[in-house]
């Protein structure tokens, strides 16, 4: 029997919704993530902020455990682990709406795993969006990608292009530029945490979405990439 791919951080009875976090990794690495894992540590402040914001809302919180450190080409290991984690979550919670929050490789895995019937929305933080990444399965989903304009690891243009293609495929999709933001999300860390929390609660309909995102979801026509400092 395969090892569990879901780490459950907070249960709820009865559950109203769930948020699952996916940390980053590498393009190619077959070994397991190390015990002291910096990509995993980067997601802890996000997990704490989301936990505080949803403490009274019966929201289950969890994270994906990766078997491998890398994506590994056609194996797409991180995406497979994400899908397994969602299957495990479904056994625990039943059919509740899920928001996936993924950084870098975890963002790519979250976008792939959005094919799972539980997933209603994805928040991608500096996601790895290579050319040709599939988007057809995102129809009917809500997708928000946030990328710093000082990212030198994953290309922000990949996020802008995927958001546009996802919209054309039938998703409610929006891309946001984090001015001064870097890949590790250490520059303007507070802004990253606050925005992600607001996106998650808005996508779960526990509060309002940022006005820029709500406007993009309502406008099905083409749009530029708004800066967070611009509204």
Of 86, 88, 63, 67, whose CA–CA distance to 76 is shortest?
67
**In terms of DSSP bridges, do strands 6-10 and 59-64 run parallel, antiparallel, or are they unpaired?**
antiparallel
Determine the pLDDT at residue 219: 73
End-to-end CA distance of the chain: 49
Q: Which range (14-18, 76-80, 163-167, 223-227) has the least confidence?
A: 223-227
- Rounded to two decimals, the pTM is 0.95
Is residue 2 predicted with pLDDT exceeding 90? no
> Is 175 in contact with 147 (CB distance < 8 Å)?
yes
Express each pLDDT in 20-62 by its tens digit: 999 999 999 999 999 889 999 999 999 999 999 999 999 999 9
CA atoms of 226 and 132, how far apart (whole Å): 23
Position 226 confidence tier, pLDDT thresholds 50, 70, 90: confident
Position 230 confidence tier, pLDDT thresholds 50, 70, 90: very low
Give DSSP secondary structure letters for the chain.
-PPP-EEEEE--SS--EEEEEE---BSS--SPPPSS-HHHHHTHHHHHHHHHHTTTTTEEEEEEPPSSSB--GGG-HHHHHHHHHHHHHHHHH-S--EEEEEETHHHHHHHHHTTSTTEEEEEEES----TT---GGGTT-EEEEEEETT-SSS-HHHHHHHHHHHHHTT-EEEEEEETT--TTS-TTHHHHHHHHHHHHHHHTTSSPPPHHHHHHHH--S-----BGGG-
Determine the pLDDT at residue 221: 46
Determine the pLDDT at residue 36: 86
Express each pLDDT in 66-125 by its tens digit: 999 999 999 999 999 999 999 999 999 999 999 999 999 999 999 999 999 999 999 999
Assigned token pair, 217? 């979801």
- Cβ-based neighbour number of residue 164 at 10 Å: 16
Assigned token pair, 115? 């094919």
Position 224 confidence tier, pLDDT thresholds 50, 70, 90: low
Is residue 228 predicted with pLDDT exceeding 90? no
> Is 125 in contact with 102 (CB distance < 8 Å)?
yes
> Is 149 in contact with 177 (CB distance < 8 Å)?
yes
Determine the pLDDT at residue 1: 54
Express each pLDDT in 149-182 by its tens digit: 999 999 999 999 999 999 999 999 999 999 999 9
CA atoms of 170 and 50, how far apart (whole Å): 28
CA atoms of 66 and 72, how far apart (whole Å): 12
């Amino acid at each position: 029997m395969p090892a569990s791919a879901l780490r459950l951080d907070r249960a709820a009875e009865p559950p109203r919704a769930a948020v699952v976090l996916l940390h980053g990794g590498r393009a190619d690495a077959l070994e397991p993530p190390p015990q002291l894992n910096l990509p995993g540590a980067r997601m802890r402040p996000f997990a704490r902020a989301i936990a505080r914001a949803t403490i009274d809302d019966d929201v289950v919180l969890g994270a994906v455990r990766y078997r491998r450190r890398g994506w590994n080409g056609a194996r797409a290991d991180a995406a497979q682990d994400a899908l397994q984690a969602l299957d495990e979550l479904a056994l625990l919670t039943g059919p509740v709406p899920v928001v996936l929050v993924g950084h870098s490789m975890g963002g790519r895995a979250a976008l792939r795993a959005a094919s799972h019937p539980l997933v209603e929305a994805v928040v991608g933080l500096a996601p790895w969006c290579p050319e040709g990444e599939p988007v057809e399965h995102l129809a009917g989903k809500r997708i928000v990608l946030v990328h710093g304009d000082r990212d030198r690891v994953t290309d922000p243009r990949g996020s802008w292009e995927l958001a546009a293609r996802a919209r054309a495929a039938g998703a409610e999709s929006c891309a946001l530029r984090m001015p001064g933001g870097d890949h590790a999300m250490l520059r303007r860390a507070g802004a990253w945490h606050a925005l992600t929390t607001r996106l998650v609660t808005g996508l779960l309909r526990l509060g309002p979405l940022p006005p820029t995102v709500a406007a993009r979801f309502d406008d099905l026509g083409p749009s530029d990439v708004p800066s967070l400092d611009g509204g």
